[in-house]
Amino acid sequence: MDASDGPAAPDMPTLARSFQGIGADYEQHRPGFPAAVLDLLVPQPFESVLDLGAGTGKLTELLVTRTRRVTAVEPSAAMLAVLTAKLPEVRAYLASAEALPVEADSQDLVTVAQAFHWFDREAACAEIVRVLRPGGRLGLLWNTPDPACAWDVAAHQVAHPGMPLVERSDPPRQEELPGLQAVDATAVRWEEHLTRHEYLQRWSTVSTFLSAPRPLRAQMMAQVEDILDRDPDTAGREDLLLPHRTEVFLHRRPR
């Protein structure tokens, strides 16, 4: 699908608002994160961790296994309801990353999984620096398509028409963030077994699908189905093996 097909892509606020109405669907269809990321984020038990843009708790549920006190902040009430039902021990706030209801100098680690691009970077980084203890860390996580998986890469191009393909490198390219020092960047590779139906349902929870008019959404889904029908690794198969690449970026608040 070319960027010229159909209406112009919605702006970021519109895409972000598309998540306000989904909670259970996001929890059911979106992938989690491999346990290996926990060793990168929490190499030893921490006293307190703050998970921003926590969604339904896909990363939060790993963090509670190695942290005494986990706090989750999420702007979608539907997603936060799933998180609090699943993880009642987590202190949870309906709030944004730009105005955190958290004390200054109180967190050993702040994490953001699949959500940092929704934030106002300057305002969010200022708040992250405020709540981190001196020397505390920020961990950013992204589940990205494995470049070697042609059918998944092609489906991502349908979901994000006109967006140039990002060249993946090992280690991933680290970017500077205001008020923070870059520490490390790592790519964790893992695989997921899922059915064709589950894969298609996953795309129905992606912002560009959620915000698209119904006819365009149906067209996009048909394009993803056509990709699965044509690719030799997926054609005629109900059970799929989906490779993932989870990128983990670590930053530190200076002492």
Q: Which pLDDT score is estimated for 190? A: 97
* Structural domain span for residue 126: 12-252
> What are the pLDDT digits (tens) for 136-182?
999 999 999 999 999 999 999 999 886 656 567 778 888 899 999 99
> What are the pLDDT digits (tens) for 172-214?
888 899 999 999 999 999 999 999 999 999 999 988 888 889 9
Number of structural domains (the chain) is: 1
> What are the pLDDT digits (tens) for 88-137?
999 999 999 999 999 999 999 999 999 999 899 999 999 999 999 999 99
Is there a domain that residue 162 lies in?
yes
Is there a domain that residue 6 lies in?
no
Is there a domain that residue 238 lies in?
yes
> CATH number for the domain including 93?
3.40.50.150
Give a three-class secondary structure readout of the chain.
CCCCCCCCCCCHHHHHHCCCCCCHHHHHHCCCCCCHHHHHHCCCCEEEEEEECCCCCCCHHHHCCCEEEEEEEECCHHHHHHHHHHCCCCEEEECCCCCCCCCCCCEEEEEEECCHHHCCHHHHHHHHHHHEEEEEEEEEEEEEECCCCHHHHHHHHHHCCCCCCCCCCCCCCCCCCCCCEEEEEEEEEEEEEEEHHHHHHHHCCCHHHHHCCHHHHHHHHHHHHHHHHHCCCCCCCCEEEEEEEEEEEEEECCC
